[in-house]
Amino acid sequence: MYHQEAELAVLNALAIGYRLIDTASMYENEVQIGNALQQTTVPRSEIYLTTKLNNTDHGYDQALRAFDESLKKLQQDYVDLYLIHWPIKEGRKESWKALENIYASGRAKAIGVANYTLPFLKELETYANMAPTLNQIEFTPWLFQEEVLNYCNKNNIQLQSYSPITRGQKFNDPRLIALCEQYQKTPAQIILNWNIQLGVSTIPKSAKKERLQENFDAQHFTLSAQDVELMNTFNEGFRICDDPAIFL
């Protein structure tokens, strides 16, 4: 997303009714997000702001410095959620300790992880003083990570899905098309509602106002339990992004 687009997209999204903004140091748009937050009339207390630790900033001291830099770019004195973006092999333990420090300071209201599959979550148990509030992973009907979902539900960790609509690459699935016809909804709306019915927070990305509205409206209907179960069977291990297993 171009930088100017990021600023406008945030302002449009807030106007529509969105209140969660997800960014990251890696995205190189924290400055633009900060600019948008300065312009909006929506109170900061109503906005849930997430950013993430970059892969190049792992380690205790490095993570603390990186968080300070993110706050500066965002023009904020706190974020609502700070995540480890990827479980980099060298430094992820020290980085988590830094996040616990940041949380204790009150400058992050919650801390969590992203791209943590079961091996990383179980490893985190061995040294964390607190559980992550949230785990953000790639999660779609075609990448139905049921074991991670069950683990997070059992351990009171909110699962959040990124790239939830597969960047449109599965919109031609005949099973999905049939559901679109049945509910008179778009492919994106069917997929996003599937996430909602599973209790998964979902963060579709778009810079287009009409798409932002379409995605927002996905919460205004309900897939049947039977159709949710049907979509659970779509799994074929299809990924848009890297498999976190490369960091094992």
Q: List, by residue number, the catalytic residues.
A: 27
Tokens for 36, please give them.
């948008």
CB 55 within 8 A of CB 92: no
CA distance 41 to 39: 7
Strand partners, 138: 162
DSSP category for residue 26: G
Residue with structure tokens 């994106």? Answer: 188
Q: Dig out the tokens for 213 from the structure.
A: 């509205």
Q: Which helix (H) or strand (E) holds 161?
A: strand 158-162
